[in-house]
Structures are given as C-alpha cells and as structure tokens.
Structure 1
Amino acid sequence: MSKASVGRPTNKEGQSNVRDRLLLAAKRCFLEESYEKVSTRKIAAEADTSIAMIRYYFGSKEGLYQELIRTQFVPISERLHMLQHSDDVTNMESFFKVYYQTMLPDYQFPILMMRTLTMGQGPSRKFILDKVIEPMRNSFRKVITKLQEKGKIDSALDADMIGINMISLAVMPMLAKNIFEYQLGETLDLDFYLKLAEHNGRLLKSGLQIV
C-alpha cells in the first residue's frame, strides 16, 4: 500500500510539522501510561491530527514508538562519536553532560526504556537492544580501547566493564531522580546534573589512570 493511499498531510498540517507533533504527543502518552494502554487514537488526538498521519509517517504505533526512542538518543550518539576522536579522558565528562541535558526534560524516559527492557512492557525490546544499547556499547568500547592504546587508560582494565560503569553513572541518577531528591531534600535541576557530570568525569579520570 502506498503512502498516498493511507493519507498525506494537508498543506496546513505540513506547515505545522505534524510529524514532530506526533513524536511529542507520543512521548507524553507513553510516559504517562504503559505502551499497551496508549492508543493511536489518543496520540493522534494529542497531536491534533488523524490516525492516518501515524500510518503515513511511522507505519504503526510500534514504528512511532521506535522512532521516538531513536530520536531521543541522537544527541547522545553524536557525542559518543565525537569522543572517538578525542585523546583526553577528561572529555568523557562531556558524555554525561549531554546525557543529562537530553534526558532531564523527560527524566522518566529512561524509566520507560527500563520497563521495556526488564519487564517486557512494549514490543520493541529487541529494537532497543540492537539499535540503542549495542551501538552505545560498541562506541564506548572504541573510545576506551583507543585511550588504552594511547596510554591514557590502564590497559589492564576491561573496556566493556568501563562501559558498564559509564552507563550506570549516567542512567541511575535519572532512574532514581525522585529518590535522590527525597534524600537530599532538594529539586535536582540541570545545574546539579552538570556538577554531577563534572564529578563523574573526575571520578573516571582518577580511577582509570595507570597506577
């Protein structure tokens, strides 16, 4: 079936960027309720458009869900790519900064992914593993291996283990944001997370250096 047969955006809809509206609406809906409870009708209504536009741009609800996840991680993937061309361990701090800046406005997004990955809530577990987690693991490995070859990181350390350390340092403060706010008695804003990014960078530099 051609795209034309399932509907095209009108000039008015095209000018208002209906595709982006659908992604924003889907994000709101999926963060509020589980994947199974979110209907394409609800997403379309939130985006002030028709279900046909979901089919036109994404093919299905799952296609929309996957594109939402993919676009959320574009800034993080770009930063990891840049790190592959850096020789300074301290620059790892920039990964944490980009991660927090990307995720903080929608800090429940990592929770959404964890629900899919650990509890099977949503049909795209393999997509997340293959298109998000595995590429990130490979990027971390390339960054760390390069720094080891240049003598910036202890070559006796396991590159995959370091990657797990970095992911844990990035993801956990988002997953447990409400818990940490309760413990610290304050709202964790961007300034806090940027300081945490600097702390993580110093912590890694100190722990990864050759003894």
Structure 2
Amino acid sequence: MFPRAAHYASAPCTRRARTLCRGELRYLRGGRVGALILLMINKVAASLAAPPRPAASPLEREPAPSTPRRRRGRGRPKGGSAGNVRERLLAAARELFLRYGYRAVSSRQIGAAAGVNFALIRYYFGGKPGLYREILQSVLPPDVGGMLGAPQEGGREMRLPDILSHMTRVWAGNPWIAGFVLREVLTPGGPMRAMFLREFPERLAPLAERALRAEMARGAIRSDLDPRLLVLSVVSLAIFPFLAFPLTSRVFGVRNDEEFVTRFLRHTQALLSAGVAPAAPAGVARAQARQ
C-alpha cells in the first residue's frame, strides 16, 4: 500500500512550520496524491541510475543540406507553353459547355479538364463569360467577315447568294452552334442571350440589310421588297435545317457533308433568285406567257 500524504506532511519541523503544514494537509488528503509524489520520486531515481547517453556525432548534429525548392514564377507561362495553355482551356471549355451547359460548368472544372490552374481563365479571357465569347468568335469570324459586306476577291461586293452561302456553311460546318443557341440563347432566361445578340445578330443584321439595299439600288433585286424581311427570309432558309437537325435529318434527310450542303444551296439560291428577281417588262412578260 502506498504511503499516505499525511506521512510526508508530518516530517519534523518547527512549531511555525507545523502550523503551515496543517493548512496544506487539506490539499494532500487521500492516497492518490501520495501515490503521485512517489511515482515522481521513482522516475527521478531511474533517470539518475541510467547510463549517460553518448554524444552525437557531427553527422548527426548537422543535417544534410537539401536542394532548394524551385518556385514557379508568377504571371503567364513563358515560351511556347503560353499558347498551348490557351488552346487547352478553349478545347476543354468547348467540350464541357456543350455537354453540360454554361451555368453547370465552373471555372475549376474547366481548369481541371485542361490540366492547368483555373486562375489562368481570368488571366487569358477575363473570366468565364470572356472564355465563352472567345469560343464563339474563334469559329464564326472567318465566315462572318464575308457576311458583314466585306469585298470578295477581285473587289466584288457581297450579294444575296454569297450571304446565303456563308450562313449555311457556318451552321453546317459547326453543329455545336445549334445546341448552344437552343440551350443558352432561346430558353427562357438564357445566360448568353444578351451577349449573343450583342455580338452577332445586332451587328450582322444591319450590315446584311445594307448589302441587300445596295443590290436593290443596282437593280439586281426587286425594289418593292422589304430589305429587313428579306434578311429574315435568308436567315430562316439558311439556319432552320441545321437548328432543327434532329428532326430535319430524319424527315428531310438533312446532312452536314459537302454534297448535301452544295445541293441545298443550289436549290435555295434558285428559289430566292426566282422570288426576288426584278419583274420583266410588260412585252417580255406577255411573250413569256404565250410560250
């Protein structure tokens, strides 16, 4: 049995010390405190009886020098990797946006799919909206430039068949545009509607209308037609077969290959030419009617 705490407190002491010890006995009552004191005494005795520890060698005292860690510099990647990072972000974002939609994809997911830090999206494109805008502009500008009324080879101005051909080939050659417009523009509250209208229809429609007015002034198109409604007709003929591709492909055999696009353009241009051609003089009209 462990000695009680009172045994330690009753050591010989002066009368004044006895008075002080009695006050401390209240905190040393019970065998637990005595056992704790005895345990501490045993630990001290065991440490004194242990053999001394040998001194550490110089190799143990001095750790081996480590190679300093090389930190990556701030800013955009240098050299050829910069363009590679940009293209990887565009490719990853295009695939994710088309599969899940603009709102369902985060910047972190795009960065993970591209294998880069998602903060580079803000560095290169100013954020996720700028990245989406870049995806559209990377596909449309080469073809849209002709639709804006830019002179063709040889200085020839854009005409109605050229506008129809450019629109048709843009939509046929980029099937993802239809999914983008249906999901992000035409649905109620489409997140990219304002940007799409600002970047494309609001810029293209007035320029296409101006090109058609110039054709009317040259006498190539009937002057009694409404240029704005004529642009709407051209857009409808060029875009609808590919906007509703899941239906038109099954019902009318619409395809995206060059053979179908060429045949479709030939038919549509002939249809438009017959509808918008200037009226023949009265004598010519009567002669054609008799034939």
The TM-score with structure 2 as length reference comes to 0.62
How many residue pairs align between the two structures? 204
Partner of 1:71: 138
| Secondary structure of the corresponding residue to residue 103 of structure 2 | helix
2:221 is the alignment partner of 1:145:
no
Residue pair 2:173, 2:256 contacting (<8 A) in 1 also: no
| Seq. identity, % | 28
- 2:266 equivalent among 186, 194, 198: 198
2:119 is the alignment partner of 1:60:
no
2:225 is the alignment partner of 1:157:
yes
Amino acid at match of 1:109: I
Residue pair 1:9, 1:53 contacting (<8 A) in 2 also: no
Richer in helix (by share)? 1
Residue pair 1:40, 1:61 contacting (<8 A) in 2 also: yes
Partner of 2:199: 131
| Secondary structure of the corresponding residue to residue 35 of structure 1 | coil
Mark the structure with the bigger radius of gyration: 2
* 1:93-151 superposed Cα distances (whole Å, 9 cap, x missing partner): 33343334433343131331233332145533222112211111011111110001111
CA–CA separation in structure 1 for the residues paired with 2:116 and 2:134: 18
- 1:167 equivalent among 223, 235, 240: 235
Residue 187 (structure 1) shift: 4.8
CA–CA separation in structure 1 for the residues paired with 2:254 and 2:213: 38
CA–CA separation in structure 2 for the residues paired with 1:169 and 1:47: 38
* 1:171-203 superposed Cα distances (whole Å, 9 cap, x missing partner): 111111221221245754232122212222222
CA–CA separation in structure 2 for the residues paired with 1:200 and 1:83: 23
What value does the CA root-mean-square deviation take over the aligned residues? Answer: 2.6
Instruction: Go from structure 1 to structure 2 and tell me whether the alpha carbon gap of 1:186 and 1:167 turns closer, same or farther (over 3 Å shift).
Output: closer
After the TM superposition, which of the residue ranges 105-114 and 157-166 deviates more from structure 2? 105-114
After the TM superposition, which of the residue ranges 61-70 and 156-165 deviates more from structure 2? 61-70
Amino acid at match of 2:194: K
Amino acid at match of 1:63: G
The unaligned stretches of length 5 or more in structure 1 are none
2:86 is the alignment partner of 1:19:
yes
Residue 63 (structure 1) shift: 1.2
2:155 is the alignment partner of 1:51:
no
The unaligned stretches of length 5 or more in structure 2 are 1-72, 280-291
Amino acid at match of 2:118: I
Partner of 2:246: 178
| Secondary structure of the corresponding residue to residue 142 of structure 1 | helix
Partner of 1:108: 176
| Secondary structure of the corresponding residue to residue 36 of structure 1 | coil
| Secondary structure of the corresponding residue to residue 220 of structure 2 | coil
